[in-house]
Amino acid sequence: MQAEGIAPSAVSFANLWWQGRWLRDATASMDKAGHCIGLSEGRRRGAPFIGGLTLPGIVDAHCHAFQRALGPWTQRAASRRDDFWSWRETMYALAGRLQCDDLEAISARCYLELLRGGYTQVAEFLYLHRLGVAREPNADRAIAAAAGRAGIGLTLLPTLYQHADFGGAPPHPGQLPFVRSTERFLEDWQELRSRYPADGPIGLGVAFHSLRAVDIDVTTSVAQSLQDDPHCRCLHIHVAEQPAEVAACVRRHGLPPVALLAARGLLSARWALIHGTHATEAELAQLCASRATLVLCPTTEADLGDGCPAIEPYLAAGGHLAIGSDSNIARSALGELRQLEWSQRLARGRRNVLATAQAPAVADRLYQLAATGGLHAIGQAAPAGAAAPQRADFVSYDEDAGDWEMQEPDDFLSTLVFDAPAARARQVMVAGRWVIRDGVHTDEAAIEARYRETLGRLRAIIREGLHHG
């Protein structure tokens, strides 16, 4: 079943944030393909009228939807020294037990929450490929079905994963469900190309799990083989999330991860680098010069105790920045932007770290960066100088969005990001269709019931597995 929203030809908004400023009483016109084809002043008679505050939807540029189920199960100390690596063991326990229906049920609920959290598209970094006894890839079908059910825009990123560490270390048992040979991966890629046509609603890209999980020579040759493939809109990779990973990369290759990718000629506007937590300032400068996108996942990075990179110089130099919900411990675009700035404040001992003289309101600057950077990360940004049609992706916040009515428009976004911790979008439009209207998603009851049944069953299995594992 697909989310079947109504597609109006025009919508009037009380307050619309458009290209960095608030418009009062504006009307957007849409074509049948779901693009905005015009914006005019004033309300239009007969067009639906949306009160509250409306913003362009944000791309969730990095998501592992199945990890949505993990949140509370990893908040109890696994050892005296709990960290990213111990969290990963619980994640493996879940991944190894998922069936296709489970993945669809968890992902549909996750995507519904992401819509409420202000995201209208998601890039699913998918290292699962075959669940159960399937011979053909089936995890992508579960993800596509979940996105269709929720009504969120989807970019699928089938992910190459081969080793436990640098130097071709054999995978751990928990990693086996993710592993594929390069030949199998490229065969699967051809299969996915036939399932998801280049002009269809589901976008495709390719991900490499990390430099520890895929040898740099393999990454280079696979990336080169996709160079002229119009299906492949973007290339993603996790980099420099953990100090141990950076140290191992230097030991093996004499360079830290981002510098290694640059030295191999791999960085370009097609690439999105996830985390970059422990990238040096020089590496971030290389990333910026390449026009690749840095994808930060601030709530997951905080939850896992990763750290945060010093990104002021990177942003000042015009670097592309996107945000991702990653492990989905939080499902709010506004929440990610809040944590992004707060993590910088904690690390630097200052306030409004990511403000500039030209953009003193951090919330305004970060929202604009994330809105455009997210499109870069999934290969949907307009080429420089070109006027590409803009997707009609809108999210509107109202009653539970803080005291925005008491503020001047200059402070609307500051209210949403910093003073409305539980804001949930009440109207969400994706590619010109309503998927949430007046707070209601048409398939919510079924998505919720299926998720509850799945979670209850998996919780029992995982707890049992962890106690005996």
* Number of residue whose CB is nearest Zn ion: 326
Q: How far is the CB of 159 from Zn ion (least distance, A)?
A: 9
H or E element at residue 137 = none
Q: How far is the CB of 61 from Zn ion (least distance, A)?
A: 11
Let me know if 376 is a catalytic residue: no
The smaller minimum CB distance to Zn ion, of residues 140 and 326, is found at: 326
Q: How would you classify the pairing of strands 53-56 and 58-63?
A: unpaired
Q: How many binding residues for Zn ion (CB under 5 A)? A: 1
Token pair of 357 as six digits: 């003289």
CB 234 within 8 A of CB 271: yes
Q: How far is the CB of 428 from Zn ion (least distance, A)?
A: 24
The smaller minimum CB distance to Zn ion, of residues 326 and 341, is found at: 326
The mark string for 84-113 relative to Zn ion (x by CB under 5 A, - otherwise) is ------------------------------
Which among 37-45, 150-158, 323-331, 352-360 is the span making contact with Zn ion, rule CB under 5 A?
A: 323-331
Q: How far apart are CA 152 and CA 59, in angstroms?
A: 10
List of residues 6+ apart from 274 with CB closer than 8 A: 62, 125, 236, 237, 238, 239, 241, 295, 297, 324, 326
Q: What are phi and psi of 28, to 5 degrees?
A: -100, 135
Token pair of 148 as six digits: 């269709």
Q: How far apart are CA 382 and CA 400, in angstroms?
A: 34
Q: How far apart are CA 11 and CA 36, in angstroms?
A: 10
Q: How far apart are CA 239 and CA 30, in angstroms?
A: 39
Residue type present at position 18: W
The smaller minimum CB distance to Zn ion, of residues 127 and 394, is found at: 127
**CB atoms near residue 230 (< 10 Å):** 9
Residue type present at position 387: A
Q: How far apart are CA 156 and CA 196, in angstroms?
A: 10
CA-based nearest residue to 363, from 410, 327, 401: 410
Q: How far is the CB of 91 from Zn ion (least distance, A)?
A: 10
Catalytic residue, from 62, 238, 275, 441: name it: 275
Quick one: 316 exposed, middle or buried, by C-beta within 10 A (0-12, 13-18, 19+)?
A: exposed
The mark string for 166-185 relative to Zn ion (x by CB under 5 A, - otherwise) is --------------------
Which among 95-103, 206-214, 280-288, 319-327 is the span making contact with Zn ion, rule CB under 5 A?
A: 319-327
Catalytic residue, from 60, 215, 326, 443: name it: 326
H or E element at residue 88 = helix 84-95
Let me know if 275 is a catalytic residue: yes
Q: How far is the CB of 241 from Zn ion (least distance, A)?
A: 8
Q: How far is the CB of 238 from Zn ion (least distance, A)?
A: 5
Q: How far is the CB of 90 from Zn ion (least distance, A)?
A: 15
Per-residue CA distances from 427 to 55, 119, 310, 397, 460 (Å): 11, 12, 35, 7, 36
The smaller minimum CB distance to Zn ion, of residues 301 and 326, is found at: 326
Which among 37-45, 313-321, 326-334, 453-461 is the span making contact with Zn ion, rule CB under 5 A?
A: 326-334
Binding footprint of Zn ion on the chain (CB under 5 A): 326
Residues marked as catalytic: 275, 326
